[in-house]
């Protein structure tokens, strides 16, 4: 049976998300922004972050699936190796609106190999936004395969598989209020 160990408590997360919101508010004072969330993992983070930014804003969501960069209960009972990304990212849901001349904050749950955000950043840049910044709640720099610059990072964490606060394991655990390490996969 997998076990759950709290890595970041709901209180710690809320404090840091509030700080990130303050930073964004300061950086975009007097301007409008659009939050673009990466489904499904970033939905919880986006909803908390956006409520800490009292600026004129709208939401959009983009969906991608990254083959092989996460374990599923079926294919990876042993854990680690199966979430090494194979480098294939596919668009499953496009944006609903154009980002031309908009200030875009791309909101992601976790920055791991960097493949997903590299793919999405290129896609969004093609819209010619006025600005494009990345807000990632978690960062696992030790796993990076492609360099990527995120302007707002919540927490740098070690190389462990985490769930909760939007993050899943085979679609479960997204509703956990804390971010937990999934042990004994
Ligand atoms: P990247 O393309 O940077 O390797 O992967 C980013 C995506 O991989 C994240 O959006 C997330 O879906 C998934 N991912 C990477 N590490 C973890 C993790 O520790 N836990 C969960 N639940 N998903 C992860």
pLDDT digits (tens, 9 = 90+) for 100-124: 999 999 999 999 999 999 999 999 9
Which of 1-5, 31-35, 108-112, 172-176 shows the lowest per-residue confidence on average (mean pLDDT)? 1-5
* pTM score: 0.90
112 is an active site residue: yes
Q: CA–CA distance from 144 to each of 20, 29, 141, 159, 164 (Å)?
A: 22, 32, 5, 11, 22
Q: Which atom of ligand 1 is nearest to the CA of 111?
A: 3
How much is the mean pLDDT over the chain? 90
Residue 55 has pLDDT above 60, yes or no: yes
CATH number at residue 31: 3.40.50.2020
Q: Does residue 182 belong to any structural domain of this protein?
A: no
Could you list the residue range(s) of the whole structural domain that residue 73 is in? 11-160
Catalytic position from the list 48, 76, 109, 112: 112
Whose Cα sits closest to atom 4 in ligand 1? 113
Q: Over the stretch 15-52, which tens digit does the pLDDT of each residue have?
A: 999 999 999 999 999 999 999 999 999 999 999 999 99
Structure tokens that stand for 59 in this block: 């939401």
Number of domains in the chain: 1
The residue contributing the CA closest to ligand 1 atom 11 is 110
Residue 174 lies in a domain: no
């Amino acid at each position: 049976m997998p076990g759950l160990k709290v890595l970041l408590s709901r209180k710690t997360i809320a404090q840091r998300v509030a700080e990130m919101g303050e930073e964004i508010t300061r950086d975009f004072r007097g301007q409008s922004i659009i939050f673009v969330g990466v489904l499904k993992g970033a939905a919880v983070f986006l909803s908390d972050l956006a409520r800490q930014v009292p600026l004129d804003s709208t939401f959009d969501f983009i969906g991608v699936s990254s083959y092989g960069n996460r374990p599923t209960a079926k294919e990876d009972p042993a854990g680690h190796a199966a979430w090494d990304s194979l480098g294939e990212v596919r668009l499953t849901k496009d944006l609903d609106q154009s980002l031309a001349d908009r200030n875009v904050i791309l909101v992601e749950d976790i920055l791991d190999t960097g493949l997903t955000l590299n793919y999405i950043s290129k896609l969004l840049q093609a819209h010619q936004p006025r600005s494009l910044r990345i807000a990632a709640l978690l960062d696992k720099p030790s796993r990076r395969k492609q360099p990527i610059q995120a302007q707002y990072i919540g927490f740098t964490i070690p190389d462990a598989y985490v769930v909760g606060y939007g993050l899943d394991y085979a679609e479960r655990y997204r509703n956990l209020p804390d971010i937990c390490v999934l042990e004994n996969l």
